[in-house]
Amino acid sequence: MSDLFNNSSDFEDIVFPPKITLTCRGKLVLLDSPLIMGILNVTPDSFFEKSRVIKNMDALLSKANQMIEEGANILDVGGYSSRPGADEVSIQEELDRVVPAIESIRSHFPETLISVDTFRSEVAKLAVKSGADIVNDISAGGLDSNMISTVGQLSVPYIAMHMKGNPKTMQSKTTYENILLEIVSYFSGKIQECYKAGIKDVIIDAGFGFSKTLDQNYWILKNLSYFKTIQAPMLVGISRKSMIYKKLHLTAEESLNGSTALNMYALIQGANILRVHDVKETKQTITLYKQLYP
């Protein structure tokens, strides 16, 4: 055994791999089974119309309740659309959208995990104060220099996504020498920055559709297991995105089947969290995946 393992911990890590966990407000969340993050957009212009819940609080709570009953582990509340060409939103308007939504969800569904989808540290701070458990940042601190230090002070898990530029410029920044290597290098640096700031749980998101061409998106998905070398939980968000409906010559509304197919592949490649519009179908996908990969 001494020829194979330098010490007993090496042996234990292979025979009994360490469990992936998140700590959310003192609660230990196991990622030994894939989690579902349901998308709740309190915006008027998100690319998939049915994900918008801006009419009133009753509509929001009804959608949240439906997602929870269908199997959502996390509800992701966003008040700033990041689709290409989306209108800019002031910090106050974003706060006015997300804070009441988070407070209401927390009040009605106290056991459900809530993430706030924002790249602004001020919004992250007040969202966590209002009841959010996780900060989901499309820019990994790139659009707000205070974000990573703020999340470190908040002591919540942080989802760091890969993107170049911002939502208005990202699709003009798709040139890479080696896209897989560059993304791994990006995350390696970000994770070290997060750890230094006091963030204990970092989740990585390759950023499908953000500063990537259609072919680049599929190359990343095909090689998703490559990112397991980073040894961080992986979130995959491909639900109804243009990489699906443009490839199939459909609309976002017609892209459920394609989303389900690619989500299954993402699970096989090691995804820990699926960020989706369609919770029921994703739950069924995970059930079948676990039958194949118990």
Chain CA centroid to CA 272, Å: 10
Q: What is the mean pLDDT of the chain?
A: 90
DSSP 125-162: HHHHHHT--EEEETTTTTT-TTHHHHHHHHT--EEEE-
**This prediction's pTM:** 0.90
pLDDT digits (tens, 9 = 90+) for 216-269: 999 999 999 999 999 999 999 999 999 999 999 999 999 999 999 999 999 999
Instruction: Identify the three-state secondary structure at position 202.
Output: strand
- Write out the E strands in 181-268: 202-205, 234-236
Closest by alpha carbon to 217, among 203, 233, 238? 238
C-alpha dihedral sign at 26, 238, 294, 68: positive
Q: How far apart are CA 94 and CA 79, in angstroms?
A: 5
Res. 12 pLDDT band, cuts 50 70 90: very low
pLDDT at 5 over 50: no
Which residues have a catalytic role annotated?
A: 241, 275
Residue appearing with tokens 């072919």: 215
What's the rounded Cα separation, in Å, for the pair 258 and 133? 30
Distance, in Å, from the CA atom of 258 to the CA atom of 247, rounded to the nearest integer, reads 10
What are the tens digits of pLDDT across the range 47-104?
445 545 555 788 899 999 999 999 999 999 999 987 766 678 899 999 999 999 999 9
Determine whether 189 is exposed, middle or buried from the number of CB atoms within 10 Å of its CB (0-12, 13-18, 19+).
exposed
Instruction: Give residue-wise pLDDT tens across range 261-293.
Output: 999 999 999 999 999 999 999 999 999 999 999
Q: What is the pLDDT of residue 148?
A: 98
Between CA 211 and CA 52 the distance in angstroms is 24
- Whether 114 has a pLDDT exceeding 50, the answer reads yes
Sorting pLDDT into bands at 50, 70 and 90, what band is 145? very high
Go through the domains of the chain in sequence order and give each one's CATH number: 33-288 (3.20.20.20)
Is the pLDDT reported for residue 16 higher than 80? Answer: no
